[in-house]
Amino acid sequence: GQNIDQPTEMTATEGAIVQINCTYQTSGFNGLFWYQQHAGEAPTFLSYNVLDGLEEKGRFSSFLSRSKGYSYLLLKELQMKDSASYLCAVEDSNYQLIWGAGTKLIIKP
């Protein structure tokens, strides 16, 4: 079967750094996406990784290790507006997205 695992909830402090992990077991791999979803809103695209390594985009970075079936999203200089759910999705061999249940990130002042 296909499986995407993420922690259900994480708490961090404003100004700090947080790492959200995602492990996957899918039938094939053609890339991994991270999306942000604020409560009651639509998911919005954050990052895409297809090769191993770190992709940096401002305060957000995403890392991929295909051999380990592992990715993480790193958020630096946390702001209150970063309180949201972060969704990991893997593109399988049929180029369909398989989604994790999401990690709810709570930022405390």
By CB under 8 A, name the binding residues for another protein: 4, 30-31, 33, 41-45, 48, 87, 89, 91, 94-102
Least distance in angstroms from the C-beta of 2 to another protein: 9
When the beta carbons of 22 and 78 are compared against another protein, the nearer one is 22
State how far the Cα of 93 lies from the Cα of 91, in Å rounded to an integer: 7
Q: How many residues does the chain have?
A: 109
When the beta carbons of 78 and 85 are compared against another protein, the nearer one is 85
- Helix or strand run (H / E) with residue 19: strand 18-25
- In 3D space, the residue among 49, 70, 50 whose CA is nearest the CA of residue 3 turns out to be 70
Least distance in angstroms from the C-beta of 91 to another protein: 5
